[in-house]
Amino acid sequence: MKLESKLVIEVIKLKGIRKVIARRMSQSKREAPHVYYDIEVEMTAAKRLKEKLSEQGYKVSYNDIIIYSVSRNLENFPKFNAHIGDDELKIYKNINIGMVVGLEEGLIVPVIHNVDKKGLREIAKITKELVQRVKSGILKLIDYTGGTFTVSNLGMYGITGFHAIINPPEVAILAVGKVAEKPDVRDHNLVTHLSTNLSLSADHRVIDGMEAAKFLYSLKSNLENINDEYK
């Protein structure tokens, strides 16, 4: 039987950012045994805090709240705030969280340094400035280096959940889905609640299942009980 020929409509050579991304992601999947852990988190308290700060003139996103909560969580799980390489694990005191920003030519991960030392309103201000600098192409070297943990959020595109590839040499990454109303049964009644899906991708060379589960459960508790004292 004669095989149909494939009609190539375009050949795109990988270069620049896209070439670096391809190399790093291939390295990560090849070298780091990824294990994925998913949890659903109610976001009602986060919504209340977001609305209260908005009334005070502060525009804070759900992603800002999650980054804030992750930084506080990492204080209690230092092994997650680390780099692996050359047969050693380097655990860092500084909590520097990278946030994935998508561009036409690829992904950029600007870094918020010393997040654990910053309040929620300051984090919100910095994330907006970083995104603007990414889009304007004026990032400084310090703006995208030194990350110790990464948060990747695709909820704004309607994605309900996904598994992210770890950003080497880090040992874990948190993927965030859409914050939306979902049906639930409570006290034998059908109700809706605001929630999101979080997925932790962890390097099994460093983090085992119990540690990952405790990390996510603690983060879930932080987010579901967050209030205005966390400003």
Q: Active-site residue numbers?
A: 204
Distance CA 201, CA 198 (A): 10
Q: How many CA atoms lie within 13 A of 95 on its CB side?
A: 20
Q: Strand 172-176 and strand 189-203: pairing?
A: antiparallel
User: Residue 220 is inside which H or E element, if any?
Assistant: helix 209-224
- At 156, list the tokens: 């704004």
Residue whose C-alpha is closest to residue 226's, from 59, 77, 40, 47: 47
Contact call for residues 217 and 107 (beta carbons, < 8 A): no
